[in-house]
Structure formats: C-alpha cells, structure tokens
Structure 1
C-alpha cells in the first residue's frame, strides 16, 4: 500500500510498486525493504525510501511525502506509470546500449534532471550541495530552488555541475530581478519558472504536525527528539536551516525558518501572468523553462512566448488535488512541441522503467524530485548518488529487455495504451484512424 494515502482510498488506488502477492503464499516468503545504513544494500528506490523513513521524524516525513487534500493527484502520478504497459521487441542486438542524450544542447549521462525542491536542509545538512554533488557525479543537471537552504554561489562552485535555477516570483519585481542578476553572475545554465505555486496547496497532514502555522506541536517536538541520528546529522551544530538566498528580502521579524516560509507564501502575487513571463523572458536571455503546465493550450502559449522548454507537472501532487497525471498528457503535448523546444515531465518517477515509459511517450527527460531526496535522506550526497545509480541501472537493463539500443529509438510503438486513453500509435502515419 502506498504511504500517505487516506485509508479509505488505499484499496482503490494501489501503488504499482506494492508487494506482489502473486509471488507469496499467505504472506510467505516474508518481504521487507532494507532499512539499515549500508547504501550498497539499497537495491531499489523503495529501499532508500524505507531508510529515510527510519531516520526522519514525522514532521519532516510529512513534508517530504505528503500531497494536497485527499492526495488523489499524488496517487494518480504513480498509477499513471502502472497503466502504461511495455510491448518489447525480440531478437534485437542490444549488446551495445546507451542512455546518453542531449539536454539543452549539452550532453547528459541519462535523460534525467534532479528537480527543484525546497527545505533540503531539513533532510540533511547542506542538502542542496549534496544533491548538486550527486548530480555532477551522475552527469545530470541539478535545479536549485528559490527555497533552497545553501547559497547559490556555493552550489554553483560544485565541480562539474550543470547548475539550473528555479524561480518563485514573490514580493516586488525588484526581488526576481535581483535574483536573476545573481543567478546569471553565478553562471547558471538555465532558469526554470514555476507557474503553479502562487497559492499554497492545502497540505493537511503536514499542517497537523503544527500547533500553529509557525510552531510545531508538542508531540512533533517529542517525536523529533526520538530521532537522534537526524538531529546529529541535520540540526547540529547550526540549528534549523534558513532560506539563505532570499533571507535579506524578508523583514527581520519574520526570518525564522517557518516564519520566513509563510511570509514568502503570503507575498507570492496571484497576479502572475503571461505578461510576467514576457518580462522575465526579456530579462533572461539564457534557456528558460516553464514548469507546472497541465493544459495543451498553455503548452502552445509557452512555445509562442519563446521558452526553450516546457515541464509538465503538478508540483508533486502538492498543489491542486484531483488533476490529471502529467504522464498521460505527454503524447498530445509531444505533437505540439517540435523543433528545438524541450518537453520534460515531472512527478511520480520511482523506477528506471518509469523513465523509459516517459521517454517513449514523448518526454526529452524527466525531472525527479522525491527519488533522489530519498537517497539524500538515507545517506547524504552518497545516498543521492545511489538513487541515481539505481535508476540508471534499472533503465539500462530495461532498455535492453525492451529491445532498444538508445533512448533515441524509444517511441509509442513500445507501449500499449491504457483502455482509458487514445492509442498514441493512432496518431502516427499509417496508424489506425
């Protein structure tokens, strides 16, 4: 069963990665994910997730795992990967295979980007730098969030890093303009503008860990004290992290961790519009990606606005509940996005096979959020690297089992569409009309 789902919905919305009861007889053999500390024994992202759950206190886990309201979008993102089924081809020489690709015109070891996530200092000390180091070792880009805890110039100095920056618009125009000046000076390769977070999602389970919006409850504090490994590796010796890239824009009386988070939320303009994008586009001349799109007409408008990439996604199921899965939107979006504009998807990736399904449906790459975070929580930078290694190994093996030699060969011909979806093959020349 999927953690985080409301009890009354668990039987209706099974996790595609749940235990396979067909391989068991009355619960035998007994199966458990690995929860120790040896990262080499983590053979799947689910093991890193189990290790993270053992290490982290409840309030951090609720922030990491939870979604909005009924968490229907959170579940839908995982179930979408389960609905699409492979059609492998046989007797193909797959002795030489490669996941290498081009992202924004530069080589990447695999078609994956570490997605922007905030509060990473709650998961592990210097969490943003740790994720950046893992990305550099893995040969993929890292998108640093506006709500990150490590200074952007320190992250940018990680050797070999492809450093992208995610922008939240808050306060007056002078704030995002100053942030872009600093990001440009730090040498960031691309800007990722998030569009679907100007109103904060109703994340009820996370709210239940607090006595007030900015103060944790007594049970939350007691639970945190029962996790000494997390306290030692995260809070000591510097205490709770701060939003060091934006703290100066926040009034002094609101600069505590939770106080500053809520201040920024209250000052994110609901007037964010295509005109705002046009002003940012005029100011930022390097690659610009628009993140959080879930409508085809918005995909079209983004292309017309001159962006270099579109990221389909629901903000990890943490904003509007009950939306479509971005994965299911891919085939139709791919028909719109042609030429040099990149098409990415985010949300729900846990397996290398998930990565291949997204690519076959038309994505140029997948933004992975929780999967590398599980590794970060389990073992810092080395744990995040282990997450990337697992995904790469699974995808490399599955590529061969699918009968393909490169990501460039992938397409809808390798997938059987869900009954509820139009067959993507029907849109190809010669396909069924």
Structure 2
C-alpha cells in the first residue's frame, strides 16, 4: 500500500523538521515517558483505572519481561527501500498488523472518549475494536469512521437477549469481526481501584453500549418499576448524582427528565447484575455462531489446547491475551504463550496478540513469533488523556512508523518475510 511504504521515514522527517522551528511532538514518543506524562496529567482515579493490574501486578510485569527475552537479529544488504507493512484480516487489507484494543470507560481520561479514538483510528486506517464497556455507543463511533475498519468486543451478559441485540447492532454498524472476551467473566482483583473505592461502572461510566440498547432499556424499566426497586432509596454521593444526571440527559426517552426517576439508578443496578456470565462454556459458542455472520474470535486464550478446541468449535480466530494483566495475577505472559498457541492453530485461523505491546519493535517481535496482528491498548489511552484525538493519532502513528523502520532496518521488505528466524532468545 502506498500509504504504508516509507511510513517510518516520513514520520521521522516530519518530527525533525518541526524541531527545526522549535516544535515538539504533542505527546512523548517513548512509551515510558508517555505514561509518566499521563500520570502527572490525569486524576488519580483515571490513572489507576487504566494503569492498574491484578493483585501485585506480576502479570503486567511478565508481559513486558517476555518481550525483553527476545532479541532481533538484523540482516544487511537486502533491498528494503520500499516496505509493505500491510496485512490481510478477514478479507480486508490493513495498513499494518495493528489494531486498537478495546479500552473501557475512556471518559475517565478525556471527555470525547471513544469518539476521539474512532476519529484517529479512521484517519490512519487502523481498526478500532469497540469496547463493550465504551463511554460512547458503537453507532455514534461508527458514524465518525465512514468505511474505516472496526470490530466489536463482546462481554457475554447473563441476558442472552441482550447478547443477541449487541451482536445485531455490531453487524448493523459495519463491524468486521466479533471479539468475545473470555478472561473477564468476573472482575479481577484490582488493588489500585479497590484502594480508591472506585468502580467507574457503578457511577454510570463506561456503560453506553448498554444504555443505548433497546433490550437493556427494557430490562432497566422493568427493574425500576418493581416494588423492591421503588422501596430502595439510598442517598447517593455527590459524584453519583453527577453521573446520574449525565445518564439522565443521555437516556433516549422522556422517563429520565428528572433525577427523581428511579431509572438512572436502576440502569447502574441492572448493568452490575447482568454484565457478565461466568457460567458460559464451549457449548454456548454454537448459539452465538447461529446468530451472526461475522467472524468470531475468542480473546483471552493462553493454552494451546483451548486454541485447538476453539477452532474445532467453529470460531474464526483467537487472541492471545492476559487482558493487559488486569485479571489473573501471576498468569503466564501473553507473548510467552504465543508460540505454543500458533503451533496448535497452524494455518487454520489467524492468531492475534494482546497485552504488553508498547512499540513498533514489540509489534515486529510478536509478528515474527507468529501473530497475524497485535492489539495496542494503554499507550493510545495515555495519548487520549494528554491530547485527545491528536494524542491518539500521534501515538498510533509513532508505533506504525517505528514498525516500518524496524522492518526495513532488519532487512525485511514486507510483513510476510518475518519469522522466528529473525529473533534469538536472550540468555
């Protein structure tokens, strides 16, 4: 693709030329500096929610340490003057093996939340995976993206009717694939949030996919009209009142014209009661397969036997992921699990990698180990918090640029030339 060839060099030239006139990038170009700047800028609650991991955060550290155990072996005197960083996924040609991972409750870091991410992703041609826990509905985000690629992340609710509604909406707004997240059937033990007493969903944040859904609204109205719901009248905190006011204004109906209506509170209670179903099993996949024409990927696969079973059950791909280290402390690192999963799947379906990706060099490492593409998460959230849409765009453009340069500087002209022989284990 013309837009991909020389991306890295063009991006470097752009930054250096701006530097001649004293202009620096909007946000830091290195991942660690980016996170430090975001920490200083965001509220404690916002930073803790995005940065936090499960337990002592050993899995988060393991995800990064796993990349450090691999070294790239550059080759020389190979013509890499023109690079093709593109890949194909489910019939669509993408500019690079990169997607934006689903990140929930983005309104914590910036008021434009998912809309800013959608615009940035569309401008770069990089697929955005709409979060099930978004702050903006998938329809509003899709309207900002034109024909740019997008996927949808699904949390399997206790209401199958709601699951079917979410899936139908994803199809209707042009999603190319469905990513069923399996590693969050229960919320992990997250001390950073626990120590602050903060769960954004309990304040009505990050539940826009629900409050925009007709099935969910009907469930909320049923709960609100139940006698038990009318009898409960706890005094809300000031923060909860503000959140409920926002929800009341956004609710697509006249029943929430004032805060005295029980519906805003009922919406939060309904969400907390039904958002996830720990009882799902392999047998449920057939039900989902019957209800969508979209490719289905299972996210959270870390064991090769699970990967083989997934394909035997008819899914179209797997995402090797630890949910960014947010669910199981001391889990195997995603990158460590990748080679065995790739070997188990073979050529039957694409394997993607999520968790621990911070740079273009990380993208190259994961692809060399067999990932068809990777998902980038926290870095674009930091960019969003610091500079909105422009921050997201720069972070993603920087990752694309570094990947392009790393590809060429290691003697490769296309993604298809990458393989395990490009790497060595670090002693």
Same-fold call, TM cutoff 0.5: yes
**Alpha-carbon shift at residue 169 of structure 1 (Å):** 1.2
Residue deviations 1:62-83, cap 9 Å, x none? 0010101010001100111111
Unaligned stretches of 5+ in structure 1?
A: 1-36, 217-239, 420-433
Q: 1:372 — aligned with what?
A: 380
Match status 1:347 vs 2:355:
yes
State the alpha-carbon separation in 2 of the partners of residues 214 and 310 from structure 1: 27
The answer on whether the counterparts of 1:326 and 1:345 sit within 8 Å (CA) in structure 2 is yes
TM-align CA RMSD:
2.4
The answer on whether the counterparts of 1:207 and 1:213 sit within 8 Å (CA) in structure 2 is no
Unaligned stretches of 5+ in structure 2?
A: 1-22, 212-216, 230-239, 248-263
Alignment of 1:25-104 (within 5 A): 39-40=25-26, 42-104=28-90
State the alpha-carbon separation in 2 of the partners of residues 160 and 68 from structure 1: 37
Alignment of 1:5-404 (within 5 A): 39-40=25-26, 42-157=28-143, 158-210=145-197, 241=205, 243-247=207-211, 248=217, 249-250=219-220, 251-252=223-224, 256=244, 264-267=271-274, 268-339=276-347, 341-404=349-412
The answer on whether the counterparts of 1:97 and 1:400 sit within 8 Å (CA) in structure 2 is yes
Greater shift, 39-48 or 286-295, is seen at: 39-48
Residue deviations 1:377-415, cap 9 Å, x none? 111111111011110111111112211111110000011
The answer on whether the counterparts of 1:314 and 1:323 sit within 8 Å (CA) in structure 2 is yes
Greater shift, 194-203 or 182-191, is seen at: 182-191
**Alpha-carbon shift at residue 246 of structure 1 (Å):** 0.5
The 3-state SS of whatever aligns with 1:345 is strand
State the alpha-carbon separation in 2 of the partners of residues 58 and 301 from structure 1: 41
**Alpha-carbon shift at residue 340 of structure 1 (Å):** 5.2
State the alpha-carbon separation in 2 of the partners of residues 129 and 211 from structure 1: 24
State the alpha-carbon separation in 2 of the partners of residues 76 and 352 from structure 1: 19
Q: 2:12 — aligned with what?
A: none
TM-score of the superposed pair, with normalisation by structure 1: 0.78
The answer on whether the counterparts of 1:133 and 1:161 sit within 8 Å (CA) in structure 2 is no
TM-score of the superposed pair, with normalisation by structure 2: 0.79
TM-aligned CA distance change 1:400 to 1:244, over 3 Å: same
- How many residues matched? 360
State the alpha-carbon separation in 2 of the partners of residues 212 and 169 from structure 1: 19
**Alpha-carbon shift at residue 261 of structure 1 (Å):** 6.4
**Alpha-carbon shift at residue 321 of structure 1 (Å):** 0.8
Higher helix share: 2
The answer on whether the counterparts of 2:26 and 2:387 sit within 8 Å (CA) in structure 1 is no
The answer on whether the counterparts of 1:198 and 1:265 sit within 8 Å (CA) in structure 2 is no
State the alpha-carbon separation in 1 of the partners of residues 190 and 198 from structure 2: 15
